């Protein structure tokens, strides 16, 4: 029983360390294919089973950092004269991603709180 409690505690501790800050970064970059795994179906026709693709980051366009205590930092690129140079459509996309990330973060926090509550009830 004690070992199970320790494992649950350790898992929650790791999760809690991950939830103190939320970062959303919008970058420009080029897509690169790292690995393509091909297979054949029953008729001998080849198809791509897995394709590992990465974006090589070239430039940060926008970065939003939200801390658990409510602090929000939005960083935008500036040119040599200090002027912000971000297209409206890209900022709208970044804003949508921030909203999705915040909602995911909220649901994750709810899940952690539910597990903690159930664990406390279990350990009584």
d(CA 9, CA 116): 9
Strands 46-67 and 72-75: antiparallel
Q: Residue 121 corresponds to which tokens in the numbers above?
A: 């009830």
pLDDT tens digits for range 20-69: 888 898 888 777 766 777 777 777 777 666 767 677 767 888 999 998 88
pLDDT at 40: 75
Instruction: Flag the least confident range among 43-47, 81-85, 98-102.
Output: 43-47
Give the other-Cβ count within 10 Å of 57's Cβ. 11
pLDDT at 57: 67
Q: Is the pTM of this model over 0.75?
A: no
Q: Can you name the residues that pair with 33 across neighbouring β-strands? A: 53
Question: At 12, which helix (H) or strand (E)?
Answer: helix 2-18
Q: Residue 2 corresponds to which tokens in the numbers above?
A: 């004690």
Confidence of residue 17 (pLDDT cuts 50, 70, 90): low
Over the range 27-43, which residues count as b (16 or more CB within 10 Å of their CB) and which as e? Answer: eeeeeeeeeeeeeeeee
Residues ≥6 apart with Cβ < 8 Å to 9? none
- Give the CB-side neighbour count of residue 22, counting CA atoms within 13 A: 18
Q: Can you name the residues that pair with 23 across neighbouring β-strands? A: 65
């Amino acid at each position: 029983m004690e070992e199970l409690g320790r494992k649950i505690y350790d898992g929650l501790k790791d999760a809690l360390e991950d939830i103190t800050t939320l970062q959303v970064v919008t970058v420009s970059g080029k897509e690169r294919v790292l690995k393509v795994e091909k297979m054949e179906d029953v008729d001998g026709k080849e198809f791509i089973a897995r394709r590992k693709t990465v974006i090589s980051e070239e430039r940060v366009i926008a970065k939003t950092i939200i801390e658990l205590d409510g602090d929000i930092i939005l960083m935008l690129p500036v040119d040599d004269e200090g002027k912000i140079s971000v297209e409206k459509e890209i900022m709208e996309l970044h804003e949508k991603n921030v909203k999705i990330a915040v909602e995911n973060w909220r649901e994750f926090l709810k899940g952690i709180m539910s597990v903690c509550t159930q664990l406390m009830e279990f350990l009584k």
